[in-house]
Amino acid sequence: MELTVLRAICSGQGAGDLREMSVRGLSAYSWKSAEHRVVFEAIARLRRRDAERLREELPAQATRMGFPDVEWAAYFAAGEEERADLQVLVRELIAAGAQDAETNRT
């Protein structure tokens, strides 16, 4: 689910205000995958870019953050997320993360 959300953002579906809201909504999310966390943090640092510039600049941003070995093809690949609603995906990911956290507490 994390990859699906990140692909949706990288695909340009999360343009402008929608991407900004998604990044803010995910700022407290505890990423399960370290690579997904790195990609998200790079997106957050570049969030004012359009989709094309975001794709161009993400690898360099991750490298500047100390993570040059991200498999970018996975994030720029087309898939189901192109038809999905980014806001719905973000809400589902946050809910799943909260449910996982609750399960781990018990």
Model-level pTM? 0.84
Domain residue extents for the chain:
2-105
What are the structure tokens assigned to 75, written together?
């994030």
Q: What is the pLDDT along the chain (106 residues), one digit of tens a residue?
A: 999 999 988 877 656 777 788 889 999 999 999 999 999 999 999 877 777 888 899 999 999 999 999 999 999 876 655 566 888 999 999 999 888 777 776 5
Asked whether the beta carbons of 26 and 5 are under 8 A apart, the reply is yes
Those residues whose C-beta lies under 8 Å from the C-beta of residue 69, and which sit 6 or more positions away, are none
State residue 82's pLDDT score.
58
State residue 9's pLDDT score.
86
Measured distance CA(81)–CA(71) in Å, rounded? 18
State residue 47's pLDDT score.
72
Strand runs labelled E in 1-106 = none
Asked whether the beta carbons of 43 and 9 are under 8 A apart, the reply is yes
State residue 51's pLDDT score.
76
